[in-house]
Amino acid sequence: AQSVTQLDSQVPVFEEAPVELRCNYSSSVSVYLFWYVQYPNQGLQLLLKYLSGSTLVKGINGFEAEFNKSQTSFHLRKPSVHISDTAEYFCAVSRTNYGGSQGNLIFGKGTKLSVKP
Amino acid sequence: GAGVSQSPSNKVTEKGKDVELRCDPISGHTALYWYRQRLGQGLEFLIYFQGNSAPDKSGLPSDRFSAERTGESVSTLTIQRTQQEDSAVYLCASSSTSGTYNEQFFGPGTRLTVL
């Protein structure tokens, strides 16, 4: 079984400051790792993903994340946030592909990022 | 092209009533997933369809929940005898199964409120 822990339920930060949203996972099998963003009253949007290869992955809107296998972490970072980054961010994992199906996503409980002027 | 659509966008019902939630996946996507997002919680997996078969129903919380899919198109999630704890946003996602990795695309969700 897999599980995802997002260590912070809320992160307030001032505009133009850096931010890190933390995510740890547990799995007995290999997984893909994801960050999704949900803006107020909108659906989920994929921010970035780690499938294989380079452990530093870059996503949309200037976000990046680093996969650390030894620490089973996949923390999300942005060097300078904007007001428009205010949203809820979800870390997720899924089993790597088998039998033609990716399998369902397992999500953390989310981190609400609030960017203040 | 068109994304995943869900209807209704909002549904208010009385405790004990049955509700049906609809998902229209992206055309050609063979895989379809239902998730539930309760207030203050992450998304919980409910059920997965590959075509019109459901190889994984492990997330359905009780026998009041059921789902079906017609071919590789529309899916309906039915909740019988709704309870207040069923109040949540129900999200549908679809993906192709053509590659090693297939991104899941999410619909806007149906917000269900059980009074």
| Residues in chain B, overall count | 115
Between chain A and chain B, the number of residue pairs with CB atoms below 8 A apart is: 62
Q: Using one digit for the tens of pLDDT, what is the confidence trace for A43-63?
A: 899 999 998 889 999 999 999
Q: Are B83 and B63 in contact (CB under 8 A)?
A: no
Confidence check: pLDDT of A28 > 70: yes
Minimal Cβ distance to A101: which of B42, B97, B107: B97
Which of 47-66 (B) contact A at CB < 8 A?
Answer: 48, 50, 55-56, 59
Average of per-residue pLDDT values in chain A: 91
φ, ψ for residue A60, nearest 5 deg: -80, 160
Minimal Cβ distance to A102: which of B40, B42, B102: B102
Q: Are B95 and B103 in contact (CB under 8 A)?
A: yes
pLDDT category at A97 given cuts 50, 70, 90 is: low
Give the pLDDT score at B66: 95
What are the C-alpha distances in Å from A92 to residues A6, A24, A25, A31, A76?
10, 10, 9, 10, 12
Report the distance separating Cα B23 and Cα B15, nearest Å.
23
Q: Using one digit for the tens of pLDDT, what is the confidence trace for B8-41?
A: 999 999 999 999 999 999 998 999 999 999 987 8
